Amino acid sequence: MASRVLTRPPALRSPAFRSIGRSVLLTLPMALWALLMFTPSFRQPGRNLHIGALLVILFMTALFFLMMRTGKTYRWRRYFFVALGLLFPVGFIASLVAVRGTMSIPIERMVSGDTPFCYMVIPMLILPAAVTRTIIFPGSILPTASNPHSIAIMIGLWLALTLVVGKAWCSYVCFFGGIEEGFAALPKRMKIRKLDPRLRLVPWAILLFVVVLSAALFEPVYCMWLCPFKTVTEYPAVHSVTTAIQMGIFITLFAGLVVVLPYLTKKRTQCAFFCPFGAFQSLFNKINLFEIRFDREKCVDCTLCQTSCPTMALSAESIREGKTLLNCMKCGACVDSCKKSAAVWHLKGTKVALKPERARLLFLYGAWAMATMFGGSILANSISTIIGFLPLR
């Protein structure tokens, strides 16, 4: 009787459910990584910074432990990702207001180097840089006396991490995606269920359009005209009809693709149907080691995984073929939702479904290290900024 009370029925457990001791052991490397990442913050003066760093170390370590203990990925990753999406704009806007007194910036200053580096611009840099050796959107990535290698470091880091985890960048680092995921998580059920699968092609068309046009015009067309996230970061000062139109486009895209449609569809609609950077990242899925596969011997074609996928990276045909589509961002929702354990993490070059937990663990070490390094430091800074605004003594 006692064991019936104390032990969860095996059927409710994920096949990857682990003991506390083993989960702690597997979490240890990530806890040490988080400590290493935030040691410099503790060396700097500032109580708020220390609190932010400490909270993030605990948060990231606890979530990783839960991923190990339960065998679920998406469920725990989501807490981090939504926190990142919600807190990043708060911290960013607060520091803009503290430094400049406003979120707006003249568009000329934006293009000529007075904004922080944004990875969204990377696909637009490539052609002009290759042909003319000119960086068309310098921002603060221009080498400076204090940081002479900033371009190389930022782009080098992005490339190294992308090669390891592919499009997982979009589900473990991109704070913009976290905002959408937050709105998609709000309703219990989808209010719109049917979405045209051809919408998946739109990000590719936008990618082609902005890359070619940016090279032709020598300016970052997406940043100037199409980025929904200008609305929650810094926007061009409105002083003419042109800037008013730009601002109108940013706000409309943000409201539609980041707030309303995610709420109605429970999908990340900006990522799935619009973002050219996401399409660009998909290309790296071809050459990195980790992927999701489907064990056809266990799969009963129930399509639960397809419904749970936030970016429509699954189709009935792809599941039948045992694969995801190219735009999979390795969030793990499909694996978490499959009741037959047919959706599995896979290390390329090994037999499918042979050791899926080992593949998941290896992938998560890379992805969580990346999330802690980029997202964790953004979270810590945002938390310390927010604490600074609280009426605490």
> Which residues contribute to the site for ligand SF4 (CB under 6 A)?
292, 294, 299-305, 308-309, 311, 313-314, 319, 324, 328-334, 337-338, 340, 342-343
Residues in the chain: 393
Closest approach, Cβ 346 to ligand SF4, in A, equals 11
Two tokens, residue 301: 């074609």
Nearer to ligand SF4, 204 or 225 (CB): 204
Closest approach, Cβ 293 to ligand SF4, in A, equals 10
Closest approach, Cβ 325 to ligand SF4, in A, equals 7
Two tokens, residue 369: 């290290």
Closest approach, Cβ 340 to ligand SF4, in A, equals 4
Closest approach, Cβ 327 to ligand SF4, in A, equals 7
Q: Quickly tell me which residue has 């619009």 as its tokens.
A: 274
Two tokens, residue 13: 């457990």
Closest by CA to 173, choosing from 207, 220, 122, 135, is 122
Q: What is the DSSP string of 165-223?
A: HGGGHHHHT-HHHHHHHHHHHSSSS-S-----GGGGGHHHHHHHHHHHHHHHHTS-HII
Closest by CA to 84, choosing from 305, 390, 346, 372, is 372
Nearer to ligand SF4, 136 or 179 (CB): 179
Q: b/e string for 299-311 if b means 16 or more Cβ within 10 A?
A: beeeebbbebbbb
Nearer to ligand SF4, 31 or 261 (CB): 261
Closest approach, Cβ 336 to ligand SF4, in A, equals 8
Nearer to ligand SF4, 177 or 220 (CB): 177
Nearer to ligand SF4, 234 or 336 (CB): 336
Nearer to ligand SF4, 115 or 282 (CB): 282
Closest approach, Cβ 265 to ligand SF4, in A, equals 14
Nearer to ligand SF4, 57 or 342 (CB): 342
Nearer to ligand SF4, 334 or 369 (CB): 334
Closest approach, Cβ 300 to ligand SF4, in A, equals 5
Q: What is the DSSP string of 26-88?
A: HHHHHHHHHHHHHHHHHHSS-HHHHHHHHHHHHHHHHHHHHHHHH--SHHHHHHHHHHHHHHH
- Contacts by 306-310, CB closer than 8 A, 24 or more apart: 306/334, 307/337, 308/333, 308/334, 308/336, 308/337, 309/333, 309/334, 310/181, 310/184, 310/266, 310/267, 310/268, 310/271, 310/272
Distance, in Å, from the CA atom of 206 to the CA atom of 216, rounded to the nearest integer, reads 15
Distance, in Å, from the CA atom of 215 to the CA atom of 238, rounded to the nearest integer, reads 26
Nearer to ligand SF4, 66 or 302 (CB): 302
Two tokens, residue 206: 């936008």
Q: Which residues pair with 292 in a beta bridge?
A: 345
Closest approach, Cβ 312 to ligand SF4, in A, equals 8
